[in-house]
Amino acid sequence: MQKELAALIIGYQRLSGVQKNIQLCIQNGIKTIYVSIDYPRISDTLHLSRHEEIIQYLQLISLDKRINFSFRVACENVGPAVNVITSCDWFFERNNYGVILEDDCIPDNSFFDFVRSSLYDLEANDSIWLISGTQFVPKELIASDRVLLKYPQIWGWATSKLKWNEVRKIYFDAEKDSWPSNIDLSERAFWGAGEARARRGYLDAWDIILASAMLKKKKYTLASNCNLVTNIGVDNVSTHTKKNSIWIFFPTSYFEIRSSEIKIDYNSSDWLKKNFYVIRFRHQITTKLTRLLDALRARIAKPKPLIVRLAPDFRYYSNSPEFL
């Protein structure tokens, strides 16, 4: 029996990205779609008009009774970390399986096929937390058609209610897990410092906390041997991506399963460590300097910790009240 796949689209100021992802979801047989929109950081005419255009479009889509459509709108700006975490909570309270797409991450059609073909493995393997459409490792270096990576690749991903309930605990109930012996000092410094900064509110990121937890708990991302999602987020509303990044507009390919074998791909994970995350010895030093600078900043204005911000106010809408 095929598992019913729903979709969660997380947006900010990109109407075109929200439109494109909703259209792609419908084209690929998704019948239940949830959308979460953050409030503008800047309350000027330009940003508020963009925000209103998105809401008007979502209200129009909600008239389409062929799909179960729900959306929510933040009452104030909550930032990407809070929007992603609380959106997934809202979504997985009501859905068992889902793809998660941000408004700057546009999937290839075969992304949906890849996710559907991998749901059984997600359920059967306790060590898999995510299915990802992101793959930057050169194809000739990848061990199999489908591989397990040590890191979360979150530019287009999927998971289940069961696995999200495991993931969410790392944000609400921070555990003091120790580092495995195969994680070197530079990587411990890189992820450990990033996690601490994100939890304390100095960095608006959710994936760094996830990466740190996955390494400590030995959890994996199931990825294909080619890239299935393109990140287009290099406009003036981007939070983390940079215009000169080689990973932006990274081309997609069509995925076709030739083998059911799934391998833990240590070589691909090492490639990502060196080339995507660019983790080096210097991080053992620079992370200590960053900690000092954060302490100095805190004397002027101390940010709110992430855990304090994880109860934001949203307005909710749906064409099917039972899906709210």
pLDDT (tens digit per residue) in 119-177:
999 999 999 999 999 999 999 999 999 999 999 999 999 999 999 999 999 998 877 78
Domain boundaries, the chain: 6-174+219-277+312-323
pTM: 0.94
Query: Is the predicted pLDDT of residue 234 greater than 80, yes or no?
Result: no
Q: Return d(Cα 145, Cα 59) in angstroms, integer.
A: 40
Q: Which of 48-62, 108-122, 242-256 has the lowest mean pLDDT?
A: 242-256
What confidence score (pLDDT) does residue 237 get?
A: 63
What is the average pLDDT across 249-260?
Answer: 87
Q: Is 6-174+219-277+312-323 assigned to CATH 3.40.50.11030?
A: no
pLDDT tens-place string over residues 179-211? 999 999 999 999 999 999 999 999 999 999 999
What is the average pLDDT across 291-295?
Answer: 94
What confidence score (pLDDT) does residue 243 get?
A: 60
What confidence score (pLDDT) does residue 167 get?
A: 97
What confidence score (pLDDT) does residue 151 get?
A: 98
What is the average pLDDT across 278-300?
Answer: 95
Over pLDDT 70: what percentage of the chain? Answer: 95
List beta partners, residue 318: 70
Across the chain, mean pLDDT equals 93
Query: Is the predicted pLDDT of residue 240 greater than 60, yes or no?
Result: no
Instruction: Return the higher-pLDDT residue of 61 and 234.
Output: 61
Q: If pLDDT is split at 50, 70 and 90, which confidence band does 324 have? A: low
What confidence score (pLDDT) does residue 257 get?
A: 78
Query: Is the predicted pLDDT of residue 36 greater than 80, yes or no?
Result: yes
Task: Give the up-direction half-sphere exposure of residue 119: CA atoms within 13 A in the CB hemisphere.
Answer: 20
What confidence score (pLDDT) does residue 236 get?
A: 61
pLDDT tens-place string over residues 63-82? 988 899 999 999 999 999 99
